[in-house]
Chain A
Amino acid sequence: MRRIPWLWAAALAAYAFLYLPLAVVVLFSFNDSALNASWVGFTTAWYGKLLSDPAMLQAAGNSLFIAAVSSTAATVLGTMAGISMQRWRPRFLPFLVLTPVAMPEILLGVSLLLFFRQVLDLTLGLFSILIAHITFSIGFVAIIVRARLAGMDESIFEAARDLGASPWRGFVRVTLPLILPAIAAGFLMSFTLSIDDFVITFFVAGVGVTTLPLQIYSMIKVAVTPEVNAVSSLLMALTLTLIALAARFAPETLKGSR
């Protein structure tokens, strides 16, 4: 391959544009100053302050709880959808499952809000957030599980039946172990999506319940404090870890996608 200097420079500039702000956030979360202006000295005080802030802890707890429950449910449902899409090739199911993935978040947020309030007359809160997060996560799990199945020889599943396994035993002994990495990757992806989500959660959260992204948003309405930097850094670390884990479990499905 020929090296084109200006292309490399452009790439470098683009990456700098993407990652420098993140680096600044992390850097200033360790800055010993209440202002995000200049470097004063190293401290972990802001992390300490974070851990003693009850509102912040409450929001983090909510976020983790919502992520755990919604990604578990989405993983079960998404796995089922992924398997049936591969095995029976239904014509319309892929659209039903994958549309929320492609839909602009703001649209999904507004429509879910209207649906919960106007149609179901639901009180917004933990439950409505859970339903919303499950809805947009199912598609991601289904895509990953299906991609894994598509790469496999289908006669393996027939062989299980042929050799005496009932459909259920065949699933437990053959299908499940083979798609487990994809299921794990799908779970981690939904966990990440749930914990990071702002737009949809903003619409369906109501007044009582706050998640971490909502909490950060309400804090920066006042000022970008080092505390915000600290909690953002933590969220970033968690997200990167989850994505890295997911990529390890299903490298073939995450390459090139989100």
Chain B
Amino acid sequence: MALLEIRNVTKRFGSLEAVKEVSIAIEAGEFFTLLGPSGCGKTTILRMIAGFDAPDEGELFLDGRPLSGIPPEKRPVHTVFQSYALFPHLTVAGNIAFPLEMAGKSRDEIRRRVNETLALVHLEDKGGAYPDELSGGQKQRVALARGLVNRPRLLLLDEPLGALDAKLRERMQVELIALQREVGVTFVFVTHAQQEALALSHRIAVMKEGRVEQLDVPEVLYSSPRNRFVANFIGTINLIDVEVREASRQGLRLAAAGLGEIAAPPQAGATAGARGTLALRPEHIRLSPPSEKPELKNHFAGTIREYLYLGDVTVYKVALDNEVLLEALATNGAPGRARFHEIGDRVNVAWRHDAGAYLAS
């Protein structure tokens, strides 16, 4: 049985349907992420799990028991708020002790657990400090500690890394993964940052306008997006309009106007004659000088239009002869060589027959 089951939940605010018939099952021990642009309903789902909002239709179950009618304070669910929401009048230790006090734990137990949790988030020496004396990263850790100290069944995290700068954010991501592994509490994480979602999660639900567009493990989400929205939202991707020539278990034969035939991996539901899109990741595209004979099955002639040198990689914009513009990523692995092609160079654009994903919509 799933730890948390969201069954057919709909939530309206006036005439706006914030969440539409969403069903998600989250397993114990999971790091589960709700990913989507702002206004997609992910925070509303979080608030319904926490008990601040009630679904208009459908039901949420925790350990198989319905959650409706149970107020936030009676749910074994704690939240790490986007703003951290630390109590400014309490010390770090006072903040962390708060849920234990509310649960009626003894003084000795509170002291012991607060110290343990302070150690867990590496803030042993900050117990007596007040929140406004802490840095952003430290506040973040206190909020995590406060959410975890009373061992909730679920910890909800609402864009908790959003306020941190890039470097600190990366470090907190690593800490977050380690922390979740260490305490074993189920995390439900909300973010609009796709990279963060890929890095942290066991499973991700990609949301758009109140619906779940795709729910999968990060690798599948990245390599086999189900539709254009998911493909576009996660990472960078090239989209080429195609028609299916032939579909079989071995693969697809696609036709793109002005290009000719493209071989693509098999896709359930793709039938000959259907029109759709081929989604192709920039890092799957190889560029080579026209003098080298390409070894890959899909290869086309193109011209370099632009490039962006990013240090470790260079991003090329290359126009195929049918004027389709593709983005290709080249790793700058060879020392001393940062660029392989100049603007205006003719190149071979190639990718493997099993790269890319055919999207019906």
Q: How far is the CA of A247 from the CA of B77 in the complex (A)?
A: 41
B85 touches A156 (CB 8 A): yes
User: Which stretch from A15-23, A122-130, A158-166 is at the chain B interface?
Assistant: A158-166
Measured between beta carbons, the chain A residues less than 8 angstroms from B103 are 164
Assuming A153-B83, A155-B83, A178-B88, is B146 touching A163 (CB within 8 A)? yes
Query: With A162-B50, A162-B73, A164-B150 as given contacts, are A169 and B102 in contact (CB-CB < 8 Å)?
Result: yes
Q: Are A162 and B89 in contact (CB under 8 A)?
A: no
Q: Does A80 contact B (CB under 8 A)?
A: no
Contact A178:B99 (CB < 8 A) given known A162-B72, A164-B150, A166-B73: no
Chain A nearest CB, measured from B99 CB (Å): 4
A177 at interface (Cβ–Cβ under 8 A)?
yes
Known pairs A164-B73, A164-B150; A159 contacts B85 (CB<8 A): yes
Enumerate B227-280 residues with CB–CB distance to A below 8 Å. none
Chain B residues within 8 Å of A64, by CB: none
Q: Choose from A153, A161, A173 the contact partner of B72 (Cβ within 8 Å).
A: A161
Contact at A159–B89, with CB atoms within 8 Å? no
Chain B residues whose CB sits within 8 angstroms of the CB of A153 once the complex forms: 83, 85
B87 in complex: contacting residue of A164, A166, A174, CB < 8 Å = A174
Contact code string A166-200 (vs B, CB < 8 Å = 1, else 0):
10011001100110000000000000000000000
Counting chain A residues whose Cβ lies within 8 A of the other chain, the interface size class is: 10 to 19
Q: Which residues of B contact A170 (CB under 8 A)?
A: 73
Q: Please, how many angstroms separate the alpha-carbon atoms of A178 and B86 in the complex?
A: 12
CB pair B89–A163 under 8 Å, yes or no, is: no
Main SS at interface, chain A: helix
Minimum CB–CB distance for B185 against chain A, Å: 15
B78 interfacial by beta-carbon distance below 8 Å: yes
Given contacts A155-B83, A156-B87, contact A162 B102 (CB under 8 A): no
Residues of A within 8 A of B71 (CB): 161, 166
- Interface code B142-161, partner A: CB below 8 Å = 1, 0 otherwise? 00001100100000000000
At the interface, yes or no: B98 with Cβ under 8 Å from chain A? yes
Q: Nearest Cβ in chain A — how far from B194, in angstroms?
A: 25
From A159, A164, A169, A178, B81 is in contact (CB under 8 Å) with A159
A164-B103, A164-B150, A169-B102 known; A159+B88 contact, CB < 8 A:
no
Q: Which of A179-226 contact B (CB under 8 A)?
A: none
Contact A159–B87 (Cβ < 8 Å) = yes
Q: Are B78 and A162 in contact (CB under 8 A)?
A: yes
- Evaluate contact between B73 and A161: CB separation under 8 angstroms: yes
The answer to whether B85 and A165 have CB atoms under 8 Å apart is: no
Set B51, B52, B83, B99: member contacting A163, Cβ < 8 A: B99
Q: A-facing mask of B80-94, CB < 8 A → 1, else 0? A: 011101111100000
Complexed CA–CA distance, A125 and B88 (Å):
45
Residues on the B chain within 8 Å of A166, using CB: 71, 73
Flag whether B79 is at the interface (Cβ < 8 A). Answer: yes
Chain A residues, Cβ within 8 Å of B82:
155
A163 to B77, CA, bound (A): 8
Closest CB in chain B relative to A111 CB, distance in Å: 39
- Chain B residue at minimal CB-CB distance from A156: B85
Interfacial chain B residues near A155, Cβ < 8 Å = 81-83, 85
User: Would B73 and A158 count as touching, CB distance under 8 A?
Assistant: no
Contact in complex: A177, B81 (CB < 8 Å): no
Whether A163 contacts B81 by the Cβ 8 Å rule is: no
How far, in angstroms, from A1 to B82 measured CA to CA in the complex? 41
Establish whether residues B89 and A178, one from each chain, have CB atoms under 8 Å apart when the complex forms.
Answer: yes
Minimum CB–CB distance from B54 to chain A (whole Å) comes to 14
Q: Judge whether B78 and A163 touch: CB under 8 Å.
A: yes
Q: Mark B283-299, 1 if CB is under 8 A from A, else 0.
A: 00000000000000000
Judge whether A163 and B98 touch: CB under 8 Å. Answer: yes
Residue ID in chain B nearest A178 by CB atoms: B89
How far does the Cβ of B139 sit from chain A's closest Cβ, in whole Å? Answer: 12
Beyond A158-B52, A163-B102, 18 additional pairs, beta carbon < 8 A: A153-B85, A155-B81, A155-B83, A155-B85, A158-B79, A159-B81, A160-B98, A161-B51, A162-B73, A162-B79, A163-B78, A163-B146, A163-B150, A164-B98, A165-B98, A166-B73, A170-B73, A177-B89
Question: What are 5 A-B interface contacts by the 8 Å CB criterion?
Answer: A156-B86, A158-B79, A160-B98, A162-B52, A163-B99
6 closest cross-chain pairs (CB), A and B: A164-B102, A159-B85, A155-B85, A163-B99, A161-B72, A155-B81
